[in-house]
Amino acid sequence: MYQAPRGTTDILPQEQPYWRFVEQKAVSVCQLYGYERIDNPAFEDTGLFVRTVGSGTDIVEKEMYTFEDKGGDSITLRPEGTAPVCRAYLEHGLHNLPQPVKLYYLASIFRYERPQAGRYRQHHQFGYEAIGDDDPVLDAEVIDMAWQLFLSLGLKRLSLNLNSIGCKECRPGYLARLKEYYADHIGELCPDCKVRLERNPLRLLDCKNRVCQQMAESVPKSIDYLCPPCEEHFSQLKKYLGLLSLPFVVDHLLVRGLDYYTRTVFEVQPEKGGAQSTLGGGGRYDDLIEELGGKPAPAVGFAAGIERIILNLKKQGVAVPTLPGPQVFIAYLGEAAGDEAMKLASALRRADVGVIESTGGRSLKAQLRQADNLGVRHTVIIGEQELQAGMAVLRDMTTSEQKDVPFDQLPKLLR
């Protein structure tokens, strides 16, 4: 028997109410803040991700689903949502529109990771991007949107962590200082961090290894090395977040797994979960568009994992609305009644009344049991006698009351 590939899941009907609930809240928050939907292809040229996410990152080094297609091109299944949006922004001349351009997406994401609770090889992200402006008002807006989304989902006990990791002017100075700090402790670092120290020293700060974490406690802080414009940007942002009453904490160890971030980085986590259970994160990426060959267009964005959100909705016992289904079941006895049932089902659907028609010629008792299981409000019953009289029995499934109704009046009545 075939099984779904490791790290992937089927989203069965009983799970769908959670998915619809999250998607609907995500879409409404985007509408409230004026973000428009974009859908990108599920795969792109490999170079797009290597160039933007960064060749020294876990994603590019270990996690991409990369293959050569039959035409010999190197293709990669989307391992994150921002680079494709930026590629489309340039490709379709969105830089010619009034800036910033505000876009959101719901997309499947592919990463070859070690599957565990809340970590899959195919997962889904909701994300949004504001491209073409470096005003910290936008950073505040993007963070506020994330926070309002989680509030509207009914999630509680979340923390909002914030940091600034500087820009291409001031970051080199900080990285040099970071390397100096770690140089004295190199023997104690985990094997991954020894490599990171050369290739991607920022990532030493959020290594999950216990010894590396201890060492990170007294590490120099990026915010102490910001250039004056970055410092001003960060202090403005903090002021705006205060105005919006967002309960942020500055976390000096917060860096993100992708190379393109500049200045603002932030994450939303369940209070007790730690970094492994992060619900979503984002930040500013002021050089990415330029890196892709466009004119400078500073930008900021956010993405959240839908599976993680749903995991937390369940953990916190948040009730989600059930999805509307047909409220009418048609039961019948005998072949002639069956023909009438089919005509009636069709008439009801044309009148916009959802119907489930009985199949399989079961006893009336069995058919009523099925109607009960489906949870419909009404069952229409047609037998020999009803056929003769041109009337059906309409049964209210909650009260068990029954009445006779002429066939042609049923669509209007049930609607």
Smallest gap from Cβ 242 to ligand AMP, in A, equals 25
Q: Does 206 bind ligand AMP (CB under 6 A)?
A: no
User: 236-295: which residues touch ligand AMP (CB under 6 A)?
Assistant: 257, 278-281
Q: Which two tokens stand for residue 18?
A: 């959670």
Q: Does 192 bind ligand AMP (CB under 6 A)?
A: no
User: 75-94: which residues touch ligand AMP (CB under 6 A)?
Assistant: 80
Q: What is the side-by-side strand order in the sheet with 158-164? A: 36-37, 101-110, 122-131, 299-305, 280-284, 262-270, 158-164, 248-250
Instruction: Choose, by CB under 6 A, the member of 125, 164, 264, 379 that binds ligand AMP.
Output: 125
User: Does residue 285 contact residue 266 with C-beta atoms inside 8 Å?
Assistant: no
Q: Of 91, 5, 4, 6, which is closest to residue 41 (Cα–Cα)?
A: 91
Instruction: Choose, by CB under 6 A, the member of 103, 288, 303, 382 that binds ligand AMP.
Output: 303
Smallest gap from Cβ 208 to ligand AMP, in A, equals 14
Instruction: Choose, by CB under 6 A, the member of 132, 201, 305, 311 that binds ligand AMP.
Output: 305
Q: Does 119 bind ligand AMP (CB under 6 A)?
A: yes
CA 407 vs CA 118, 345, 382, 410: distances in Å: 52, 11, 10, 6
Instruction: Find tokens 């029954």 and name the residue.
Output: 402
Q: Does 307 bind ligand AMP (CB under 6 A)?
A: yes
Q: Does 129 bind ligand AMP (CB under 6 A)?
A: no
- Identify which range of 114-122, 186-194, 346-354, 383-391 contacts ligand AMP by CB under 6 A: 114-122
Q: Which two tokens stand for residue 152?
A: 């509207």
Of 95 and 119, CB closest to ligand AMP: 119
Q: Residue 377 carries which side chain, given as an amino acid letter?
A: R
413 SS3 class: helix
Smallest gap from Cβ 415 to ligand AMP, in A, equals 43
The strand ranges marked E within 253-401 are 262-270, 280-284, 299-305, 328-332, 355-357, 378-382, 391-396
Q: What is the side-by-side strand order in the sheet with 66-68? A: 43-45, 74-77, 66-68
How many residues are recorded in the chain? 415
Q: Does 111 bind ligand AMP (CB under 6 A)?
A: yes
Q: Does 54 bind ligand AMP (CB under 6 A)?
A: no
Instruction: Choose, by CB under 6 A, the member of 308, 341, 344, 397 that binds ligand AMP.
Output: 308
Q: Give the angle subtended at the CA of 52 by the CAs of 51 and 54, to the nearest 5°.
A: 75
Q: Does 113 bind ligand AMP (CB under 6 A)?
A: yes
Smallest gap from Cβ 318 to ligand AMP, in A, equals 17
Instruction: Choose, by CB under 6 A, the member of 131, 145, 304, 310 that binds ligand AMP.
Output: 304
Interacting residue ranges for ligand AMP, rule: CB under 6 A: 80, 111, 113, 118-120, 123, 125, 257, 278-281, 303-305, 307-308
